[in-house]
A and B are shown apart, each in its own frame.
Chain A
Amino acid sequence: MSAIAPTVARPRITLSNLGAWFGVAPFFIFALMFLIAPTVYLLIGAFQNHDGGFTLDNLARLGQPSIRNSYLLSIEVSFTSALFGALFGLCLALAIVRGGLPGWLRPTLMTFSGVASNFAGVPLAFAFIATLGRMGFITVLLNNLGLDLYAAGFNIFTFTGLTLTYLYFQIPLMILVVTPALDGMKREWNEAASMLGASQAQYWRMVALPVLWPSILGASLLLFANAFGAIATAYALTGPSLNIVPILLYAQIRGDVLHDPNLGYALALGMLLITGLSNFAYIVLRARSERWLK
């Protein structure tokens, strides 16, 4: 086991920490110029009305049942796709790293995951329509084999279908982000555990998973935020029927019909807040699990 690490350093500007502050300065300057500054327009816009005056109206409208439901739906879709994406992604990553597979499989699957992680929007929606739509490739195949998917109640243009489609980029993302953590799992731990009499299951439950947990949580949060902000796929696949927040948002900003960019900004602000809350929840959960690691 590695040595008990020294106490957590506090960010005082000591001589030794000065270097650290300089080290992170470029990131913060970049973030300020290219991530935070453009967001300020959004923040200001959320509190403005059409003529530029201050108003809390936009935020108040976020409480409308239709918009509230939209947020709930977005959270549901993002959470479900993050959960299953993390689960399946972890399984695949484990298979790749620890499964004893032929050497060429790992780079192939990793590069494929790279491409698939960004395969989204209209091409993805169309690909799934062409696969599992009523006239889809697999649907027709199964029909010929005697199994009628749609008669059995399946429908790609639903919450389930959208989640299934989202998994196409969620799973690869999980694989890519979690593999480095799996790489860091030392063989010696497994050997030591089995020498002490632990079964594989015990090893996983008591050694491996706790060590991996912070990384898994972090990756899951990324998956959640990734799905939360996704719009193009949903718009193309279930546009008129599933009203997730990004669709509402885009409607207000680019609107053919409803054109209230300030409400759009307020919607985006709401999304930011929810992301912040999820991030906070993740920090709390992670701190708990890391208490014994440090």
Chain B
Amino acid sequence: MKRSSPGAWLAIILGVTYFLAPLIATFEFSLRLKRGEYSFEAYRLVFESGNFQSSFLYSTTVALATIVIGVALAVPTAYWVQLRLPRLRGLVEFITLLPLVIPAIVLVFGYIRLYDSSSVLPLTGSAFGTNILLTLGYVGLAMPYMYRSVDTGLRAIDVRTLTEAAESQGANWPTILLKVILPNIRSAILSGAFLTFAIVIGEFTFASLLNRPAFGPYLQLIGASRAYEPAALAVMAFAITWACMGLIQLIGRGAPGAQDTR
């Protein structure tokens, strides 16, 4: 049976203190809207400023789409690079790091120039097209995290042996990827999913400049130049995003063939 190690508990306690302190400070400040007393007035004001639900729903939908596309791109790529094309590793990793250092505003103006209503691929010409552009933009933004997670996960399992074993049983590539590899990197995919979700929910620049009704622009609208409401928003956004991640975790847990790799 596993014994709890005191070192582990110490690390956890220190970590939790570090992470909770700023949240407590923000929460405490958000309660101070009414002079001299603690109240949830700031939260009430935020809820009443319309659009909370619709913008959150919009961003959640885009986030889920981003996760699916991100996984669909990252897993096969990391798999093939590890298995057959290791020389490409450096190039692929460099490409996935690009969105981290290129300013979002440069990227989004690039998208507008490339895919505007007069171009070959007029994505900005319609709401649906712009939604696609936004989602694919987010796939790019989340790619560093998704790819790194998936790559780390694949490295931790013996991809070669698994593939050879599955092949010897007569499996073809889609089966290998879906039924053999994917379930074994579940925790890595979950990590990538969490990171992607958080990024998309809070993202502002792409959504605002592409004129999409996402949560980020809503947060900015409510929070700009106010004092207490942004603090309330930060706490609410934190709590709700955490809850959504809990849901993703539950869904991931219940996926067919999923088993703890421990």
- A residues apposed to B, CB below 8 Å: 2-3, 5-6, 8-11, 16-17, 19-21, 23-24, 26-27, 30-31, 33-42, 88, 91-92, 94-102, 105, 107, 109-119, 122-124, 126-128, 130-131, 136-138, 167-168, 171, 173, 176-181, 183-185, 214-215, 218-219, 221-222, 225-226, 228-229, 231, 246, 249-250, 253-254, 265, 268, 271-272, 275-276, 279-280, 283
Contact = CB atoms under 8 A, between A and B. Distances in A.
Contacts of A122: 223, 230
Interface string B143-170: 1110011011101111011000000000
Interface in B1-56: 2-5, 7-9, 11-12, 15, 18-19, 21-26, 28-29
A184 B90 CA distance: 23
B25 A136 contact: yes
A2 B161 contact: yes
Contacts of B92: 24, 27
A231 to B, nearest CB: 8
User: Which size class do B's interface residues fall under?
Assistant: 35 or more
Contact of A111 (B72, B90, B101, B194): B194
A285 to B, nearest CB: 12
B255 interface: no
B218 to A, nearest CB: 14
A38 B110 contact: yes
Given A99-B4, A107-B246, A92 B152 contact: no
Select the residue from B5, B110, B136, B201 with max chain A CB neighbours within 10 A. B110
A156 B145 CA distance: 29
Contacts of B107: 38-39
Select the residue from A123, A138, A173 with max chain B CB neighbours within 10 A. A123
A222 B94 contact: no
Interface string B232-247: 0110001001100110
Nearest to B157: A184
- Do most interface residues of chain A lie in helix, strand or loop, or is the interface mixed? helix
B109 interface: yes
A177 B155 CA distance: 12
B105 A114 contact: no
B68 interface: no
Interface string B242-261: 10011001000000000001
Contacts of A105: 12
Contacts of A111: 194, 242, 245-246, 249
A262 to B, nearest CB: 12
B12 A225 contact: no
B241 A115 contact: yes
A121 B198 CA distance: 13
A127 B76 contact: no
Contact of B90 (A100, A229, A279): A279
A131 B19 CA distance: 11
A168 B19 CA distance: 7
A25 to B, nearest CB: 9
A120 to B, nearest CB: 8
B149 A183 contact: no
18 contacts: A8-B86, A9-B85, A17-B84, A20-B84, A23-B79, A23-B80, A42-B102, A112-B242, A115-B194, A126-B230, A128-B22, A130-B231, A137-B28, A177-B191, A226-B100, A229-B102, A253-B103, A275-B100
